[in-house]
Amino acid sequence: MDLSVFTAIESEVRSYIRAFPTVFATAKGQKLVDERGREYIDLFCGAGSLNYGHNDDDIKAAVIDYLAGDGIQHGLDMATSAKREFLERFRDRILEPRGLDYRVQFPGPTGANAVEAALKAARMATGRTGVVAFTHAYHGLSLGALAATANQWFRQAAGTTLNDVQFFPFDGYYGPDIDTVALLRTHLEDPSSGLDLPAAVIVETVQGEGGVNVASVEWLQALRELCTEFGIVLIADEIQIGIGRSGRYFSFERAGIVPDMVTLSKSISGYGFPMSLTLIKPEFDVWKPAMHTGTFRGNTIAFVGGSTAIEKFWADGEATEARIAERTAIVEERLGALVERYPDDLALRGLGLLQGLVGIRDNAVAGRVAKEAFERGVIIEVSGAHDEVLKVMPTIVGDDETLRAGLDIVEAAVDAVLAA
């Protein structure tokens, strides 16, 4: 496999090419194919940007039609028919059925763009600067988002000070007996705790990059209550766990809470096209015209993909959620069996189709399994502060036979690593 041009001229910052050292050429459904014709089952899904799988036929057809009809291609935020259709479908199929009243901001193509916009809007709306984020949080790597990202590996690259964010322990950080929302409450109620009243609290209901840490329903409800009581903007970062991965369209639905702002990205276009949204309750939509603008605020192909994905998978959202539950049961059963086989080495945690197999005795196990799995034809990533979690993230739809074949490979890889 010729990787020479990548190693010769691509920056040292390149990342996934190191974990998956081949040249991918095509993909369909749950599989990628490299230039040698070798197939890989995808248990990573473009870091969650391909929840519906690769190259869905209906989305592809809609995009090809749009291109063939010379649909608008620039990304300025003028009104386009593609954007209108996306907004109407998002309102009718996603927001209204859930009783959600959000304004939709198009903050730019990436997840970090959505986080930046949410943080700016929350600061403007409250007139305060501070933000509370959580241990092991990941919100992106542009400076505002990076300030709310906990991992030192990324923070050390900022090259400047990362200001106005204080980290508090996520649910379970000090073990099951310590209520960390109560801890935050203690700081907020004490005028001498040193914590200024923050503008916002930003939270992932399940921390993907941070090691598949799942916040409990009670914890999320208590956090919502606390933010309401103190007039703090609650931002749910749904960039990785949203769009079906948790089992529901939004992962906060399981807690019956409504965040003040929501960031969405990754699978929103349904086809891997860059796109993100910042959802803002009307009372916090304090933007003035063009105060946060840019060239790429309207990726029309992504709108066409996103509209088609919503119509295909969320017109009957209950059916999609039932499929996700079935696939989750398969993954939990297979990974649970591995934990039973290796109780001293592995633990399982997760929600829906974001599951983590945790190396409890040796942090390096997850990385060794991921490497072994790649050699056997599976794409899978690790996460966590010490890369100690094998993150299992299959497509949320698709045939179960392929999913099972992928899990067979994971099982064989685990056996190969742990039996050795």
Residues that bind ligand PLP (CB under 6 A): 47, 110-112, 115, 138-140, 204, 208-209, 237, 239-240, 265
Question: CB of residue 108 vs ligand PLP: minimum separation in angstroms?
Answer: 9
Q: Of the two residues 265 and 308, which places its CB atom closer to ligand PLP in the complex?
A: 265
Q: Looking at beta carbons, which residue is closest to ligand PLP? A: 111
Question: CB of residue 252 vs ligand PLP: minimum separation in angstroms?
Answer: 13
Name the phi and psi angles at 104, rounded to 5: -105, 120
Question: CB of residue 280 vs ligand PLP: minimum separation in angstroms?
Answer: 17
Question: CB of residue 233 vs ligand PLP: minimum separation in angstroms?
Answer: 17
Q: What residues contact 167, with CB distance under 8 A and at least 6 apart?
A: 132, 133, 134, 135, 137, 150
Q: Of the two residues 80 and 265, which places its CB atom closer to ligand PLP in the complex?
A: 265
* CA-wise closest residue to 236 among 297, 46, 163, 254: 254
Q: Of the two residues 238 and 372, which places its CB atom closer to ligand PLP in the complex?
A: 238
Q: Of the two residues 346 and 370, which places its CB atom closer to ligand PLP in the complex?
A: 370
Question: CB of residue 138 vs ligand PLP: minimum separation in angstroms?
Answer: 5
Question: CB of residue 139 vs ligand PLP: minimum separation in angstroms?
Answer: 5
Q: Of the two residues 208 and 211, which places its CB atom closer to ligand PLP in the complex?
A: 208
Q: Of the two residues 265 and 342, which places its CB atom closer to ligand PLP in the complex?
A: 265
